[in-house]
Amino acid sequence: MIRVLFVCMGNICRSPTAEGVFRQFLSQQNLLARVEVDSAGTHGYHVGESPDPRTQRAAASRGYDLSEIRARRVVLQDLEYFDLILAMDKNNLDALKRICPPELTAKLQLFMSYAKNFDDEEVPDPYYGLGHGFDLVIDMVEDASSGLIESIIEKLPGAKAGRKRPLKTA
């Protein structure tokens, strides 16, 4: 089992989008039993809340359901439990590094390092922007999720990279 945690600041826009998109991609590849996915925030501003309504609308327009996700804050146990902890931007990566024991920092990465079609290092926070930013976030998350799936398939015992099905975005 490979465990992946997506992290943004409040866990109501970017990281729940990544969780929902990536979960659907895993389902398409029949990997839900082999990969665990979750999301969290570096700040506790929205603990217990659903994703931002604009995030949910943008995701739903592409066939992703984020309605069951609830915001939570990253805790030390997450850093121990998850194999891969993917931050949406450098500020949140830095926040994770500040609380992460030195022996676990190799688990921390920027999510966009898996993207193939975007050169951006960070997924921009759409919270204070106009509505189109939520669609851009989904575009970026779909791209990075495709690259992440490929990377994970290569690491899974018995998985063959040539056997994976193409990912379909909603």
- List, by residue number, the catalytic residues: 8, 14, 125
- φ, ψ dihedrals at 109, nearest 5°: -150, 165
Residues forming a β-bridge with 3: 36
CA 134, 138, 143, 148 dihedral sign is: positive
The residue among 84, 80, 1 whose CA lies nearest residue 39 is 84
Alpha carbon distance 55, 68 (integer Å): 13
Residues forming a β-bridge with 18: none
Give, in order, the Cα–Cα distances in Å from 68 to each of 112, 114, 155.
Answer: 25, 26, 29
Judged on CB neighbours under 10 Å (0-12, 13-18, 19+), 116 is: exposed
The residue among 141, 157, 169 whose CA lies nearest residue 34 is 157
